Amino acid sequence: MPQLQFPDGFLWGTATASYQVEGATDEDGRGPSIWDTFSATPGKVWRGQTGRVACDHYHRLDEDVELMKSLGVQTYRFSIAWPRIQPDGSGPANPAGLDFYDRLVDRLTAAGIKPMPTLYHWDLPQTLEDAGGWPERETAERFGEYAAIVGARLADRVDTWWTLNEPWCAAYLGYGNGHHAPGRTDPTAALTAAHHLLLGHGLAVQALRSAGAGQVSIVLNPTQFRGDEAAVRKGDAVANRIFFEPLFKGAYPEDLLGLTARHTDWSFVQDGDLEQINQPLDLLGVNYYNPTWVRDAPGAEESPVAPGVTDVEVWTPEELPVTDMGWPVEATGLTDLLVRLHKDYNVPLMVTENGAAYPTGPDAEGNVEDTERIDYLRSHIAAVHDAIEAGVDVRGYTAWSLMDNFEWAFGYDKRFGLVHVDYTTQKRTPKASARFYADVIAAGGLDR
């Protein structure tokens, strides 16, 4: 019996996303996405790398499901590429695109792994971006239609649906500082995009429920802020409560409107939008990697808290270890975040992403001894247990990521996988952390 035993029914999983693993970007009728365009633009992604081949998961689906089965994984959070389903982002479905995810869901179910698809993990059909992207209201409406198509095909076998992954990134990195596709740098567009992403979420929830979906929710990447009070309050408004409050309370926070007044008067919010967004959710997906330390800095617009919008600065205490992303390792932030979400919004939670990038590759014997990742996982899984002990209803944990993959603007330089991928041969090698995680799953817990 491990020291930290998780409750019966607690789900252990792994996660990936379509553009990061699938490859096959121009096969079987898939249309171009904003990430195809962005990564093909010189200077946007490390060494000009793209997701054209990635982990070739599109052709290795059976092998990858077997891999998860061998680790004892109980749920798989993957994402559906909208441009595979609707190559131009609207109109009838592309049958081959639907068939691929149908097959994946069937293979997972046969392997005893609960499928948890995310409808949008950032690969917007390029045609929709050409028409204005997420700052345009029509994109939200198209998203609702896409959700209805996918729901009609898969809802009978899907356990839990996630509408959006990390709308913070889609809005602020995509439209605020341009570090992600489509690479725009316009604070007003970022805030408008945030609203339309939320509206799209609300429309998708309703479409999925009409299709008979089981559990439906959204995945956020809320930031656990640390630092001076004024800065924490501002950061919390522009990065967190901008999403929490419309989702769970049906209103944007008052202080957000003041903090963003120099960029927008929010007149793009139409009557009825907040009711559409404020749909009952079965749980909330939480992605956590590290806390963020902030200090007040009026006028600082380049803050990574809400690029282009906030006036706070970010810093990292020197004594903390950092991962290969330069992100500080501090597991108590995860407990604090889960406790806070439980207290403020009283919704069941699932940790939908957590993990760390470290460069460790195969040694002379071909083993990948990634002890730093094991330490990271152990402390963060223990932090989830601490939250449960504190009374928080946490339903599961999905490690990011099943395997090394395309880490957006960092290309293949950053490795988050439990499984090592040799991008020349596509050989998958479970790292020591994969064996560690398999043991945690088998025991239903771990020693601290």
Which residues, 6+ apart, have CB-to-CB distance to 424 below 8 Å? none
- Give the nearest distance from C-beta 353 to ligand IFM in angstroms: 5
Residues 342 to 361: which contact ligand IFM by CB under 6 A? 353
- Binding-residue pattern over the window 88 to 127 for ligand IFM, x denoting contact by CB under 6 A: ----------------------------------------
Nearer of residues 64 and 407 to ligand IFM, judged by Cβ: 407
Alpha helices, H only, 9-136: 18-21, 34-39, 61-71, 82-85, 95-110, 126-130
Among candidates 195, 216, 36, which has minimal Cα distance to 116?
216
- Give the nearest distance from C-beta 15 to ligand IFM in angstroms: 8
Nearer of residues 74 and 287 to ligand IFM, judged by Cβ: 287
Among candidates 184, 183, 303, which has minimal Cα distance to 235?
303
- Give the nearest distance from C-beta 400 to ligand IFM in angstroms: 6
Nearer of residues 101 and 406 to ligand IFM, judged by Cβ: 406
Distance (Å, whole) CA 182 – CA 179: 9
Residue type, 166: E
- Binding-residue pattern over the window 416 to 445 for ligand IFM, x denoting contact by CB under 6 A: x-----------------------------
Q: Quick one: tokens of 213?
A: 């979906």
Query: Are the C-beta atoms of 16 and 162 separated by less than 8 Å?
Result: no
Provide the 3-class DSSP secondary structure of residue 170. Answer: helix
Distance (Å, whole) CA 104 – CA 349: 25
Distance (Å, whole) CA 10 – CA 167: 26
Q: Does 407 bind ligand IFM (CB under 6 A)?
A: yes
Residues with a catalytic annotation lie at 166, 353
Site for ligand IFM (CB under 6 A): how many residues? 8
Residues 11 to 50: which contact ligand IFM by CB under 6 A? 17, 20
- Give the nearest distance from C-beta 166 to ligand IFM in angstroms: 6
- Give the nearest distance from C-beta 121 to ligand IFM in angstroms: 6
Q: Which of 161, 400, 436, 437 binds ligand IFM (CB under 6 A)?
A: 400
Residues 305 to 344: which contact ligand IFM by CB under 6 A? none
Q: How many CB atoms lie within 10 A of CB 363?
A: 9
- For 335, phi and psi rounded to 5 degrees? -60, -50
Q: Which residues bind ligand IFM (CB under 6 A)?
A: 17, 20, 166, 287, 353, 400, 407, 416
